[in-house]
Amino acid sequence: MITRFRALLCASALGVAAVSPVLADPLATPAMTPPLAANPSPAGSDAGSLGKIYLTGAISGFGMVQTDPVPGDHDGNIDATNAQIFIQTTAGPVQFFAELGGYSFPVLGTPYTHIGPTTVNTYSAVPVAFVKFQPTPELSIQVGKLPTLIGAEYAFTFQNMNIERGLLWNQEPVVSDGVQVNFTKGKVTASASLNDGFYSGRYNWLSGLFTYALSAKDSFTVAGGGALSSYDRASPTTPLLQNNGAILDLMWTHTEGPWMVTPYFQYTRAYRVNAGGLQYAGANTWSGAVLAKYSFNARFSIAGRVEYIASESASCPTESDACVQSNLLYGPGSRALSLTVTPTWQKGVFFVRAEGSYVDVMHAADGASFGQTGDTHSQFRAALETGILF
């Protein structure tokens, strides 16, 4: 029934006669980190001059309980995490990708926002969409709404080892409007992008990524970016301080039999910025994480993540009443530790996974952590997500 629905939807939307499953490797976009895997037989249809158009997607929901929710959040939440379809071409000198639908972003240590408000208030019902020009096998150029080059975790739940994103992810851009140039040859992959950073609408960010494959089992990546000028506006997707700053990630990925391990280090810097009649002092974070996955067999695996992040804020001049210390975490000078474990089962397009997570906050500002008064310094969560990747 699902295959028939895909066929009818694609035929009506694209004006082609039929859609049929095509035996192929899983599509490279959207990118995914094991243990979840995309459908190895994506549905595709011949669309004449456009070539073969593929239609895939992710539909999932989850339930989550937690201790000490902040005001406005709840002890438990039930919601859809993804209701998305992906339309794309993968061959020829001009290609495209479009991601359509709703989504939510469960993130450790932050209140949960349901799929409707998240979709409306962040990246819209088309969170990612771009045209890709491929003049040579090694070189490509992408223009549009692009996933960030920065970080070890992707935006949506199905793309990652864990259901919830981590503390380091919460310091990174997610989606940016812009143009990106990619080059791949031999052991080297490199990308550079001029974009609007944290989806600000001002194209004043430069981002880049460089990956070197040390061997068949090991690769090393440097990724980062920063603002070329200041911008004094903020929104749900554009935090004032992070958008007026810079970020650097160093990542190593090792695969060995059933193991996949990715340690990474992150440094962020928020520059001094004037906004709303105030001057925000500079600040930075130092953090590290290890993400790991072990597969017991083709269907069952377990993933884990451990993180530590520390924030520092510059002092304001004593004679300046208009200066405030910058807060990048749970108050100036705060620190946080997280632990996450996610057992996962997948058979074909169906998956189910559970998750337990813990966040501990240190040196938090008064009222800036968990609970109804914001003075509880730890939080436990348990979650269950299930769905299909068709």
Q: What tens digit of pLDDT does each residue of 4-58 get?
A: 333 333 333 333 333 344 445 789 999 999 999 999 999 999 988 888 999 999 9
Paired residues of 226 in beta bridges: 206, 246
As a whole number, mean pLDDT of residues 351-364 equals: 98
Long-range (24+ apart) CB contacts under 8 A made by 343-347 are 343/300, 343/301, 343/302, 343/303, 344/35, 344/36, 344/300, 344/301, 344/302, 344/303, 345/299, 345/300, 346/35, 346/36, 346/37, 346/299, 347/299
pLDDT value at position 7?
A: 36
Encode pLDDT of 168-225 as tens digits. 999 999 999 999 999 999 999 999 999 999 999 999 999 999 999 999 999 999 999 9
- Average pLDDT on 248-275 reads 97
Q: Say what the pLDDT of residue 6 is.
A: 33
Structure tokens at 214: 């040390």
Read off the pLDDT band of 322 (50, 70, 90).
confident
Say yes or no to pLDDT of 300 above 60: yes
- Which of 11-15, 101-105, 270-274, 380-384 is the least confident region? 11-15
> Is the CA virtual torsion 19, 23, 29, 31 positive or negative?
positive
pLDDT tens readout for residues 103-115:
999 999 999 999 9
